Amino acid sequence: MSEHFRVVFSGFKPGTDNQAAIEQLAAKLKVSEQKVTDFTSGKPLFGPADKQKCLKQAKLLAIYGIQSKLQSQASAGTGVAQDAANERVFDALDYITSSLIRIEEKLDELEQRIDGKQVQNEQSEDDEWEDESLFSELELDSEPPKRSKKLLYILLSLLVLLLVVLGISLAFPELVPM
């Protein structure tokens, strides 16, 4: 694995207008002035590269009055990749967590809707059973109409007569012609 370097800001050349140098460099690199200002604060402007490329970057910075130095990134190269991977993992976990929270909120909302409908249904069922209109058709307090006992006596006497005839026919089989 080849050794990588990074160009790090070390200061401005004496007699250089700082703001003008930042503006000119931002225009040359076609980046925002904020990014160049962040570079002067210690953040990287260029990614890790081989030594020749970093020397060219340092020369470019020197043209605009910015002093820089090379910092070795050999052991940190895998660290940078590891940091980037960790950053992506944390971003993914954050996304998953926020998605789970949104899903949980939706489930709670649906549960409240369902519970509300069930409560309304139960109340309407209770109201239906408590409603007096269902029982108004039935007259529960009225007495059943009195039936005539005459028919009952006739049926009872007919039953007794048939039992007598059956008893005679069993006792005296020769009296009943067949």
pLDDT tens readout for residues 155-177:
999 999 999 989 988 898 888 77
Looking at residue 76, what is its pLDDT? 47
Q: What is the pLDDT of residue 29?
A: 87
The number of angstroms, rounded, from the C-alpha of 67 to the middle of its chain's C-alpha atoms is 53
Q: Please report, as a single letter, which amino acid is at residue 127.
A: D
Query: Mean pLDDT lowest for which of 12-21, 89-98, 133-142?
Result: 133-142
Choose the weakest-confidence range: 38-47, 102-111, 126-135, 164-173: 126-135
Predicted local distance difference test score (pLDDT) of residue 158: 94
Q: Which of 83, 84, 7, 82 is nearest to 44 (CA)?
A: 7
Share of the chain above pLDDT 90, in %: 11
State pLDDT tens for residues 43-88: 888 888 888 898 999 999 999 899 999 888 755 445 667 777 888 8
